[in-house]
Chains A and B, each alone.
Chain A
Amino acid sequence: MTKILLRDKLDDCLTRWHAAGFDVVGPVRKNNISQYATVKKAGELDLGIILPDRTLKDLFFPQTEPMFSYRISKQKIDTEEYLPPGRQRIIFGARACDASAMAIDDPLFGWDYQDTYWFKRRNETVIVTIACTAADEFCMCTSLKLAPDSTQGSDILLRPLGDNRGWQVEELTDRGREAFSRIEALLEESPAQTAALADVPIKFDLDLCREWLQNPENFESHFWKEISMRCIGCGTCTFLCPTCHCFDFQDEGDTYTGIRRKNWDSCSFALFTMHTSGRNPRSTQSARWRQRIMHKFNYFPGKFNLNSCSGCGRCTRECPVDMGIIETLQEITKLSQ
């Protein structure tokens, strides 16, 4: 006997959570795009999709975020910090890849120095993940040694029931337990069977790839030029990547008053590393693509013992020129065999 949450109780759950002061966020399709957004009613949730077009990082690390405002006078500079609003939220219906990605970025944002903006939101959010029963040809969580029901980064894992009436509840963290204690009365004990998880075939050999990437001889391999020849240098793969975390600061305003913002930035852009002098350590698109792959599968694991990729596949799914991590790591796997 395990606890289950029935789909038709979802509206009541939302009511209770709202009453307890939680915002509820989940996958929503609006304006021809699906993304995690705040909902009032369960009916707004779009839970039937493979995964939203946009990632969960939007909710922790938005594409543009005002950090503080400034006001300059002759004798002083006044600043006002814009910290995240401080509302408790429940993300209902995250995907395991997206939730894992948040756990992957935690050590980065907390590496010696804590990024206030990231951790304030992380601490205010309960992530309720629904395990996947369907995948498409771009899904690759299993290749990253994760799974459709990975628990990393999640506070609650819901496993869909075979009859699609609801989900089996697995409480993973105290934060998750606390949020679900608010809907305790709505949960049922049931022996219901869970549905089969999505079958996600393994697409490349991660260990072989890591080994190849670690070999200094391969840094200058012609492979990088060949594989990235059609890359156009846009930021799609990085901006739609749940773990890509690079950013820029931009001041907007004048000499007296304005705002300093933290904006997404991308290692795909030529300008990203360009010195003011015009010198650019990563002056070609192949060097930039190499950086992206090396960072995700060699440097990041070297620092944090985690791959900076959770296998959502959006990079390949959305790439305007049909590139992506899958193809690159498949080719590297071939080279290593």
Chain B
Amino acid sequence: MTDNTQNGRQNIYKPAIMKIVAKRDEAPGVKTLRLEFQNPADHEQFKQRYRTGMFGLYGIYGEGESTFCVASPETRNEYIECTFRQSGRVTAALASAEIGDLVTYRGPYGNRFPIEDFYGKNLLFIAGGIALPPTRSVIWSCLDQRDKFGKITIVYGARTVADLVYKHELEEWQNRSDIELVLTVDPGGESPDWQHRIGFVPSILEQAAPSAENCIAVLCGPPIMIKFTLISLGKLGFNEENVYTTLENRMKCGVGKCGRCNVGSVYICKEGPVFTAAEVSRMPAGDL
């Protein structure tokens, strides 16, 4: 097999080594790591292959690997950023790793957002909680070529103010005149000085009522939020073909062999993680 299909590696299960060059606390239990390749050849492969939407398997030897999106955009491929909530064995190890420590990385795997298909269109980004990272890589991919798109609206909600991630970037987006940012927290999740909306994402979206005309929506969030937000998008006149989302499932190999990530006949790791809402609605709901 040629390099082209092996992701440049002889042994597809053998990860590249990356160094943690920056680490940021985003929210309680949520951290972002910025990683740099140690081997220039690995970095070159990554630059050639990585497109926004793809995911990777991040790991610590001795603990294992864990799957997250690449939270940094293809327009900034000198490094990889990943954002994760500490919840299991691998994320616990990654969370306790320090700047300068080495971690493992396999990827990038999966499909991508067809960003050039979005050229000339308005964009609506909707994210809930820890699902901003996959959305964020699309947002930056578009912001880094801002003139190619129309109006950009971002609706982002979390359970509480503390649970909002990328707070520094939210501030930056807030201050830009070429983005409309709508922030919300669930009722009861507001702080005394909270200046933004209070309410669940679907209803806040309906209040904000962005036009569906010539608009692409990118929607990422927990399953329950996706379910209700799709209904709201429908009300706003969005066609399922113009709504993109990402699916996440437990993965081990990332390359369509280990057998656990499929929803119906669709392998999330190879045919996803990026799908249109129309594609998702064709999947068997009982497997999602």
State yes or no: do A and B touch (Cβ within 8 Å). yes
A residues in contact (CB < 8 Å) with B:
67-68, 70, 72, 74, 76-77, 79, 81, 83, 108-116, 216, 219-220, 245-251, 253-256, 258, 260, 262, 265, 267, 272-277, 279, 281-282, 287, 291, 294-295, 298-299, 302-303
Alpha-carbon distance between A281 and B284 when the two chains are bound, in angstroms: 11
Is B61 a contact partner of A250 (Cβ separation < 8 A)? no
Q: Which of B119-127, B141-149, B176-184, B261-269 contacts A (4 or more CB under 8 A)?
A: B261-269
Q: Report the minimum CB–CB distance from A293 to chain B (whole Å).
A: 13
Q: How far is the CA of A299 from the CA of B17 in the complex (A)?
A: 35
B5 lies within 8 A of A113 (CB): yes
Residues of A within 8 A of B248 (CB): 275
- CB atoms of A251 and B287 under 8 A apart: no
Q: Shortest Cβ distance from B245 into chain A, in angstroms? A: 16
Cβ–Cβ < 8 Å partners of A108 in chain B: 256-257
Is B14 part of the binding interface, using a Cβ–Cβ cutoff of 8 Å?
Answer: yes
- Please list 12 pairs of residues, one from A and one from B, whose beta carbons are closer than 8 Å in the complex, sorted by A's number: A79-B14, A79-B61, A83-B11, A111-B256, A113-B6, A247-B258, A248-B258, A249-B253, A250-B64, A273-B260, A291-B262, A294-B265
Is B87 interfacial (CB 8 A cutoff)? Answer: yes
Q: How distant is the Cα of A282 from the Cα of B250 in the complex, in angstroms?
A: 11
Whether A111 contacts B14 by the Cβ 8 Å rule is no
Known interface pairs A68-B14, A249-B13, A299-B264; A77-B61 also in contact (CB < 8 Å): yes
Q: Which residues of B contact A72 (CB under 8 A)?
A: 61-62, 102
List residues of chain B with CB within 8 A of the CB of A216. 284
Q: Which of B38, B65, B248, B255 has the most CB of A within 10 A?
A: B255
**B270 proximity list for chain A (CB < 8 A):** 111-112
> Given that A260-B61, A295-B259, A298-B265 are known contacts, is A281 also in contact with B287, CB under 8 Å in the complex?
yes
Q: When A and B form their complex, which 7 residue pairs have the shortest distance between CB atoms, in order from nearest? A: A246-B259, A276-B88, A299-B265, A70-B61, A113-B255, A276-B87, A219-B284
How many angstroms from the CA of A108 to the CA of B5 in the assembled complex?
14
Q: Are B249 and A281 in contact (CB under 8 A)?
A: yes
- Residues from chain A with a CB closer than 8 A to the CB of B88 are 276
Alpha-carbon distance between A83 and B257 when the two chains are bound, in angstroms? 18
A67-B14, A77-B102 as given contacts; A249 in contact with B64, CB under 8 Å = yes
Q: Please report the C-alpha to C-alpha distance between residue A110 and residue B261 in the assembled complex, in whole angstroms.
A: 18
Are A287 and B286 in contact, with the CB atoms below 8 A? Answer: yes
Given A72-B61, A249-B252, A251-B61, residue A113 in contact with residue B259 (CB < 8 A) = no
Q: Which bracket fits the contact residues of B?
A: 35 or more
A76, A219, A254, most chain B CB atoms within 10 A: A219
Chain B nearest Cβ from A331, distance in angstroms: 19
In angstroms, Cα B13 to Cα A298, docked, is: 27
Q: Which of A68, A113, A282 contacts B287 (CB 8 A)?
A: A282
Shortest CB-to-CB span from B11 to chain A, Å, is 5
User: Given A77-B102, A112-B255, A247-B258, A254–B62 Cβ distance below 8 Å?
Assistant: yes
Not counting A246-B259, A274-B250, a sample of 13 additional A-B residue pairs whose C-beta atoms are within 8 angstroms of each other reads: A109-B257, A110-B1, A114-B5, A115-B12, A246-B260, A247-B258, A260-B61, A272-B260, A273-B249, A275-B250, A279-B223, A281-B287, A303-B265
B260 touches A116 (CB 8 A): no
Q: Which residues does chain B contribute within 8 Å of A291, judged by CB atoms?
A: 262, 287
Q: Given A248-B252, A281-B263: A111 and B91 within 8 A (CB)?
A: no
- Chain B 51-71, CB-CB to A under 8 Å as 1, else 0, gives 000000000011111000000
Known: A79-B14, A220-B286, A277-B87. A113 touches B258 (CB 8 A): no
- Name the B residues within 8 Å of A250 (CB-CB): 64
Contacts of A74 in B (CB 8 A): 100
